[in-house]
Amino acid sequence: MAGGRPIPSFETVRYEVADAVATITLDRPDALNALTIAVKRDLLAALRAVERDRAVRAVVLTGAGRAFCAGQDLRERLESDAAPLAVELRERYNPIIRAMRALDQPIVGAINGVAAGAGASLAFACDVRLVSDQASFRLAFGRIGLVPDSGATWFLPRLVGAAKASELALLDEPLSAADAERIGLVARVVPADELAAEARSVATRLAAMAPRALALTKHALERSWSVGLDAALDDEAYRQGIAGATADHREGIAAFLEKRQPRFRGE
Ligand code: T3D
């Protein structure tokens, strides 16, 4: 149970909750966690479960086995009844990316191995990216005659700047974990055998912080990408008004003055 609710279970995605951290694991290791209709359905359902459960304060998104996610399952794409690509994106991929960005709880991407195609896009949509030293990114769309999707053309220039975004998207070359850190695509490279513990530690730190302030910060950063400084200043003032009225803000000041750790309750 989390927050009094039973913890849901899914066919292709593992969903675990412990100490206010939900871990979502894409779980088709034999196909490098490639995204079938079932995985997309289960991942969206897992994100909805997080959205409904206020006892969950941070999320870790990772992959089972040696890959994070190899993107669209190309075998399923060849099936005779596969939906047209534009429909697949509108109905199955885009809702996942929107749900990740709309979620109040921060998502720590634990990029344990290769992230390709829409799998790279899933990594880009996380709030904090920790990457294994064994991992790599590959847009992979160009090689099969497609356009980067699931937010890749939007996230990439914002995360790494126009020059690197164009190089990655157009030339479609693999990017090592070290290079991803160097160009600012990920927060940090971590030795493979320490990644899960490190991601959990970061998520646990986030889970101990004031949830309203974290959500307001996440959404303020998101909004800042599409507005000018003037509007961003107004937006910060608006959000600070909300954060400043919370019991957690008062608790934060009290804890500072009393030289103790704060106990944030999300109120
Ligand atoms: O609906 C739509 O189509 C629109 C949405 C599109 C979004 C997209 O994501 S398009 C991009 C799709 N993804 C790719 O094109 C990536 C394809 N995979 C690769 O390029 C490579 O597998 C990797 C670079 C990811 C990893 O290479 P490597 O050498 O480490 O592994 P591998 O040997 O290629 O793959 C291991 C197994 O996983 C292999 O199966 P097998 O031979 O052991 O039975 C391989 O077929 C399978 N696999 C890997 N990626 C996919 C996959 N199976 C299905 N779909 C995949 N995407």
Instruction: Delineate the domains of the chain, giving CATH numbers in brackets.
Output: 13-207 (3.90.226.10), 211-257 (1.10.12.10)
Atom of ligand 1 nearest to the CA of 83: 1
The residue whose CA has the least distance to atom 48 of ligand 1 is: 31
Q: What pLDDT is recorded for position 1? A: 52
**Cα 158 to ligand 1 centroid, rounded to whole Å:** 26
Which stretches of the chain score pLDDT less than 70?
Answer: 1-5
Q: Are 69 and 32 in contact (CB under 8 A)?
A: yes
CA-114 nearest atom, ligand 1: 25
Q: In what order do the strands lie in the sheet with 114-116?
A: 67-69, 114-116, 136-138, 175-176
Question: What is each CA distance from 205 to 38, 136, 146, in whole angstroms?
Answer: 32, 26, 39
Q: Of the residues 26, 30, 32, 146, which should be mutated to test ligand 1's pocket, given the most ligand atoms within 8 Å of the CB? A: 32
* Structure-token match 């998207």, residue found: 169
